[in-house]
Amino acid sequence: MTKKKADMEENLWRKAGLTDSEYELLTKHMGRAPNVVELALYAQMWSEHCGYTHTRPLFKHFLTTGPRIVQGPGENAGIVDIDDDEVITFKLESHNHPSAIAPFQGAATGVGGIIRDILAMGAYPIASLNSLHFGHPGAKGHTRWLISEVIHGIGEYGNCVGVPTVGGEVRFSNAYKGNPLVNAMCVGFMKKSEIKKAIATGVGNSLMIVGNLTGRDGMGGASFASKDLEDENDEDRGAIQVGDPFMEKLLIEACLEVFAEDYVVGVQDMGAAGILSSSVETASKAGNGVEIDVALVPKREEKMRPEEVMISESQERMLLIVKKGMEEKVNKIFHKWDLHAVVIGQVTDDGFYRVLEDGKTVGEVPVWSLMDAPTYVLEGKEPAHLAETLKFKNEDVEIPKDLNDVLLKLLASPDICSKTWVYRQYDHRVQMNTVVKPGSDAAIVRIKGRDKAIGITMDSNGRYCYLNPKRGAMSIVAESARNQVVSGAEPIAITDGLNFGNPEKPDVYFQLEQTIIGLSEACRALNTPVIGGNASLYNQTPEFGSIYPTPIIGMTGLVKSLAHVTTMEFKAAGDFIVLVGETKDELGASEYLDRIHGLVTGDVPELDLELEADTQKYILETIRSGWIKSAHDVGDGGLAVSLAESCIQGKLGAVVTLDTDLRSDSLLFGESQTRFLLSVAEENLDQVINEAASRGIEAAVIGRATQEPIITIHNNGLKLVDVSLDDCSNAFNNAFDLLMKADA
């Protein structure tokens, strides 16, 4: 081999994102050097996005089975049993890098992709959520444009495709200034008998591509999502997919009609790495091979090279494994919906992944080798900042003199304030099953025609995981489960989105490993197995560095009767306010320290997982007993903020009297875990308090809801807070609108 040729080949594999050792390994698998097509296959399938090279070894920590788990990790989405021979399927996916470069299309296609994951399980998509993280927006700045475009993209796609966007979260920190996070979740419903799998069984069965045409949009998207995000350039823009929600709606209806017949043995969404990943994964699960002729793939661009056709991430496409002889029947159904359904290959028995062009082989590699991406177990190192942040003591900050002002500032904080500005761009009513709309602790979506519903939440806290990765991750799972139980839902299972920086850096790998261990411990304690998820690494930029370690938890729960649905707002003046759980002298990692003192420091509040599980069980059982009129978890901003939220939503005031020796800011704004705020009618008060006592759970009457629109909080005879409901409502309800005004 000439030096010039060797240099060219070296540049090719490195440009494709493969390391020298990975290139050496794939040549060993093949017994020769790969050609350009084969190199592209390995580069995509061995990328972090497809191969989970740094995260897969850590997944061993997760609990993945349970009494309600029908399908755990390994399919397009997990499936859980909700009784009556009915199941729901759900999944979370990231679209961070595309959304940083082209926010509208990046966010829109993220929604479209996760909907197709649900469709690929055989389910009808019934709800969508999203978790968004941005830098703090400045006046007429780039971040504000990102926020507007991302939310517009989500709303445009979800509204057009007819899947309600029922909840989620929007969080802000300059840790995300250069690299926003856009994670989308979807939930689908079906009967157990309707479940589909991504498997290419039956030698001679046809591979059919259905839906949209294949173009050059999304080229190399999987490898693009597996590297550091550099400054925007034209090459990166080529990795951004373009969505068509109207096409997706047709695809949903056509696929479900085909699934109702006995034509299809396997189905897979074409997401990252397009035709390649969808066909490799289905062949691998069946232990078979496949061959695909790129000349047969319907294209919208001319002179596409074979590797371009294979890795294109054009949207609104699915791969069906169709029984031999049923191809024309499938085509007829799709033609009725004005969609194509074309045979592009077949299942083989030789275990090879074979790419043809006009019948001529242009690439041939073992299927198993594409699925056997090398994994990396590294040695993590505790981040240097923890040595300093863990030294924090409450005495390091002064207690503000005006606590009314502190409460109003926290209610107006971008992380806490009402996100109505966001929600009003989403159609949450389509399909007519949304029982509790966006803005509550959990979205509640009824199962049509049944006296039951599902709770759906998405939760995260990057600041917590930055300051204590393991405990922070545990707290996010606990918070998500709290949001379920206060809404009347029994937590069932989670899907996770692991958003981190470059895992090759020891401090980031430490965060990744400790976070996964924390998630695992909390899921085991709360009996919420992990049934799937997504890893998005390399989220960092040269200018702003790495994002906070940000695991995002998507959780579902079962509401056994619509009568159990509970919301956060106080319902009637005179009702007693009960605080469940202990308030400790903890200010570390709080929104209060961040917003009021400009400090991201301290340790994450303590969390006793056994007590958490017992307390959540108590809350859910008292709700099901009909004793509770409202329930709200105490989270960001602490007790005072949670109290104000229940007052604002219920348009009622409150008088609260406490008796503690805690610092006033710890008492009001500390974020001690495992706490709940309940409102209870007088006739049920004794049952609520006595039941808690019988279980060894701390519960105390701290006040009453009032008709007078004032929120008053006393401690040891001193009035700490005395603020009007109007002032609280204005701060909470108007802050985000002001934030997004062009002249702010």
Q: Which residues contact 463 (CB under 8 A, 6 or more apart)?
A: 173, 472, 548, 589, 594, 600
Helix axes 103-119, 142-161, angle to 10 degrees: 30
HEC assignment per residue over 423-465: HCCCCCCCCCCEEECCCCCCEEEECCCCCCEEEEEEECCHHHH
Q: Is 492 helix (H, G, I), strand (E, B) or coil?
A: strand
- Which pair of structure tokens corresponds to residue 47? 């990328």
Active site residue: 54, 95, 428, 632, which one?
95
740 CB neighbour count, 10 Å cutoff = 15
Phi, then psi, of 716 in degrees rounded to 5: 50, 40
Q: How far apart are CA 150 and CA 132, in angstroms?
A: 9
Q: How far apart are CA 311 and CA 308, in angstroms?
A: 5
Q: Are 37 and 81 in contact (CB under 8 A)?
A: no
From the list 59, 61, 60, 82, the residue with the least C-alpha distance to 70 is 82
- The C-alpha angle 216, 221, 225, rounded to 5 degrees, equals 160
- The C-alpha angle 586, 587, 592, rounded to 5 degrees, equals 145
- Which pair of structure tokens corresponds to residue 692? 């808690």
Q: How far apart are CA 168 and CA 415, in angstroms?
A: 12
Q: Are 581 and 675 in contact (CB under 8 A)?
A: yes
Q: Are 702 and 575 in contact (CB under 8 A)?
A: no
Whether 49 sits among the annotated catalytic residues: the reply is: yes
Active site residue: 49, 97, 133, 632, which one?
49
Tell me which H or E stretch contains 96: helix 96-101
First to last CA, the chain: 63
Handedness of CA 237, 274, 495, 91 (dihedral sign): positive
- Which pair of structure tokens corresponds to residue 681? 């009618």
b/e per residue, 611-650, with b = 16+ CB within 10 A?
Answer: bbbebbebbbebbbeebbbbbbbbbbbbbbbbbbbbbbbb
Alpha helices in 504-564 (DSSP H): 506-526
Q: Tokens 């927006």 identify what position?
A: 137
HEC assignment per residue over 129-178: EEEEEECCCCCCCHHHHHHHHHHHHHHHHHHHHCCCEEEEEEEECHHHCC
From the list 679, 609, 607, 605, the residue with the least C-alpha distance to 642 is 679
Q: Are 334 and 322 in contact (CB under 8 A)?
A: no
Ramachandran region, residue 273 (left: φ > 0; alpha: ψ -120 to 50; beta: rest)? left
Single-letter code of the amino acid located at 464? Y
- Which pair of structure tokens corresponds to residue 114? 């996760």
- Which pair of structure tokens corresponds to residue 381? 């190192």
Sheet holding 653-658, edge to edge: 630-633, 676-680, 576-580, 699-706, 653-658, 710-715, 718-724
Q: How far apart are CA 151 and CA 535, in angstroms?
A: 22
Helix axes 609-624, 469-485, angle to 10 degrees: 10
Q: Are 487 and 565 in contact (CB under 8 A)?
A: yes
Catalytic residue positions, numbered: 49, 95
